[in-house]
Chains A and B, each alone.
Chain A
């Protein structure tokens, strides 16, 4: 079974630009969440989607947005990039069964490393 796939793996942008990152979850997984990893702030939750609905959102500015499609694939977008947005963005999917919300393990992709110059 294929794992979580994130594209692109590496990208370089300049301040003020926008970026879109893509995540394909494991087949059958309907929950997709996004995390930002930086040396200073560690791993921080961005948002989580389930069946095309955002169920939870972290404490990030509105420049960070996401969506999920009917096939469970997800994208996140960062507009008006700032230097501090340089990070590894990790996507994770989970197989949620009825009544087990939040208890399943997350399967992470290898991440998209964004550098903002």
Chain B
């Protein structure tokens, strides 16, 4: 069965410092991996995705993520955090054997960036 794990409920970082939000996955085929962000009382916004190709994926707002097949990980990173990055981040996966948009989401990681 497909699954996604986000081991940290919360990540705290100072503004200007690099940030990492961790994600590991388990799928039966080739994974399609996504990161979404949710601000209070809002829906989710797409940040970036990995489908195939280059393992380093760049996305919106300066975020990037690295696909690591051997470690089954897809960690979200940003070189310099902003206070406005504070939000709830979700990693999600589907796989190449499923042509529909059934995403399996992780439990979410709350990012707090302090000034």
Contact = CB atoms under 8 A, between A and B. Distances in A.
Interface residues of A, number: 28
B99 interface: yes
A102 B44 contact: no
B94 A102 contact: yes
A92 interface: yes
A106 B47 CA distance: 10
A42 B46 contact: no
Given A43-B90, A43-B105, A101 B43 contact: no
A66 interface: no
A107 B46 contact: yes
A105 B42 CA distance: 17
Contacts of A58: 102
Interface in B14-50: 32, 34, 36, 41-46, 49
Interface of B: 32, 34, 36, 41-46, 49, 51, 90, 92, 94-96, 98-108
B44 A101 contact: no
Contacts of A94: 101
A90 B43 contact: yes
9 contacts: A31-B101, A35-B103, A42-B107, A102-B101, A103-B51, A105-B46, A106-B46, A106-B101, A108-B44
Interface of A is mostly: strand
Nearest to B42: A110
A109 B99 CA distance: 22
A109 B38 CA distance: 11
Contacts of A75: none
A92 B36 CA distance: 12
B105 A108 contact: no
Contact of A102 (B43, B46, B99, B107): B99
Nearest to B50: A103
Contacts of B36: 106, 108
Contact of A50 (B42, B96, B98, B100): B100
